[in-house]
Amino acid sequence: MNNQWRFKGNELKYVKDVLDSGEGSSTTGSYNKAFEELFALKNNAKYAVTFNSGTSTLHAALDALGVSYGDEVIIPPITVYSNFAVTIAANAIPVFADVEEDTFNICPKDIERKITSKTKAIMPVSLYGLSCDLDKIMAIAKKHNLVVINDAAEAHGATWNNKPISEYAHVTSYSTENSKHISTGDGGIITTNDEMTAKRCRKFGSMGYSLMTADEGRLRLNKEVFQDPTYKRHDGFAYNYRMPEVAAAVGLAQTEKYEFFIELREKIGQHMREIALTSDFLIPQKKIDGARNTYWTFAARMIRSDIKWQDFRKKFIEFGGESIFACWALTYDEPIVAEGIFKKQNPALYSNIEYKKSDYPVAEKIQPQLMQFPLNYSSYEESQPQLDALDKTLRFYE
């Protein structure tokens, strides 16, 4: 598996265009805007705003939706470290809700159990390409007056009730880091249908410039005004999380082929699923009617206790497979959390926070079982050795 095949559309042409224009920043060039417009269209959203990662998107979304000092944000323990980190960065308190054994996604029932008077937001993750339960989560949010940020870093093109997931949460966040369905090298993009939320996200990622609007990241002002010593720029607390124009040029070209990239992974993922189902011990992520799983990776639980996880992986590679990734360590087991390192960010706020493994029995059970098979292949044919290797590995252990 290599990545060169992924950049065979208009990427070079658009990048050259940026370099020829000399307008390399989103504050002056036009590619960020073009990328945002096409991405919003493909995801049936009113607004899209680009960022330099699918982590900074989440940080901006928390701020844009009003999460601040001491608020609680509910997140799953099976996810990348980003969800925890941005919650701390927002001076808020990460509260874990357990996951579901069959979907691997956050459990709505446990979300409801974890709600307190301090809860402000739910940040579910749509893992591996399968949407979290957006009906239940949005209903809980409505009932308790909470905001929802769907971390769909891995779920480009996914649906819920046959509708694009971008139609549900207050903000939906996507990553365009290199392993994702579309790549800008590193990068991220949010979608929302609310103009004020889009504007706040953009301002948070662009230095809090007063001129930013929901659909315009370029700074267009008469030089007489902004070159004047009395001119004031910043009216919101913010960072610089902007996506460079070169990356946005790649993003636009990638989004032109959005369906192609998504359908390719989906097809390979579905075949892996069929092969897994010929065994009774590699249990794929649940299939849900109306929820299109777009298979960032094919994820499954290997439930045989007599087979070591590592041995299964070795066998798969012996049979010509390329790699199997394990699930991340549960976030609360990472040293940054388990050793309390994060508390230094704000001792007054975090000194009493402890996470108990016994509160997350499902995550504890499935984390050691999970296997992720990468699906980043240029064609179904190129993925064939992976499918064969999986089949042979399953037959070997029958």
Ligand X SMILES: Cc1ncc(COP(=O)(O)O)c(C=O)c1O
Where in the sequence numbering do the catalytic residues fall? 180
Give least dist CB 124 to ligand X, A.
Answer: 10
Give least dist CB 125 to ligand X, A.
Answer: 5
Any contact of residue 82 with ligand X (CB under 6 A)? yes
Give least dist CB 374 to ligand X, A.
Answer: 13
Distances (CA, A) of 52 to 57, 128, 233, 265, 380: 8, 21, 22, 24, 31
Three-state secondary structure string covering 101-143? CCCCCECHHHHHHHCCCCEEEECCECHHHCCCCHHHHHHHHHH
Three-state secondary structure string covering the chain? CCCHHHHCCCHHHHHHHHHHHCCCCCCCCCHHHHHHHHHHHHCCCCEEEEECCCCHHHHHHHHHCCCCCCCEEEECCCCCCHHHHHHHHCCCEEEECCECCCCCCECHHHHHHHCCCCEEEECCECHHHCCCCHHHHHHHHHHHCCEEEEECCCCCCCEECCEEHHHCCCEEEEECCCCCCCCCCCCEEEEECCHHHHHHHHHHHECCECCCECCECCCCCCHHHHCCCCCCCECCCCCECCCCHHHHHHHHHHHHCHHHHHHHHHHHHHHHHHHHCCCCCEEECCCECCECCCCCEEEEEECCCCCCHHHHHHHHHHCCCCCCEECCCCHHHCHHHHCCHHHHHCHHHHCCCCCCHHHCHHHHHHCCCEEEEECCCCCHHHHHHHHHHHHHHHHHCC
The residue among 374 and 389 lying less far from ligand X, judged by its C-beta, is 374
The residue among 328 and 397 lying less far from ligand X, judged by its C-beta, is 328
**Owner of token pair 């691997």:** 104
Listed ranges 7-15, 84-92, 147-155, 265-273: which one lies at the site for ligand X (CB under 6 A) = 147-155
The residue among 80 and 95 lying less far from ligand X, judged by its C-beta, is 80
Give least dist CB 83 to ligand X, A.
Answer: 6
Give least dist CB 131 to ligand X, A.
Answer: 12
The residue among 131 and 175 lying less far from ligand X, judged by its C-beta, is 175
Any contact of residue 175 with ligand X (CB under 6 A)? yes
The residue among 125 and 363 lying less far from ligand X, judged by its C-beta, is 125
In this chain, which of 11, 63, 177, 266 binds ligand X, going by CB under 6 A?
A: 177
Give least dist CB 174 to ligand X, A.
Answer: 9
Phi-psi region of 104 (alpha: psi -120 to 50; beta: other; left: phi over 0): left
Cα Dmax for the chain: 76
Give the residue closest to ligand X by C-beta.
54
The residue among 18 and 80 lying less far from ligand X, judged by its C-beta, is 80
Number of residues that bind ligand X (CB under 6 A): 13
* Site track 148-167 with ligand X (rule: CB under 6 A), x = hit: ---x-xx-------------
Any contact of residue 243 with ligand X (CB under 6 A)? no
48-77: contacts with ligand X (CB under 6 A) = 53-55
In this chain, which of 125, 272, 302, 324 binds ligand X, going by CB under 6 A?
A: 125
Give least dist CB 175 to ligand X, A.
Answer: 3
**Could you tell me the end-to-end alpha-carbon distance of the chain, in angstroms, rounded to an integer?**
28
The residue among 175 and 393 lying less far from ligand X, judged by its C-beta, is 175
Give least dist CB 331 to ligand X, A.
Answer: 11
Chain residues in the site for ligand X (CB under 6 A): 53-55, 79-80, 82, 125, 151, 153-154, 175, 177, 188
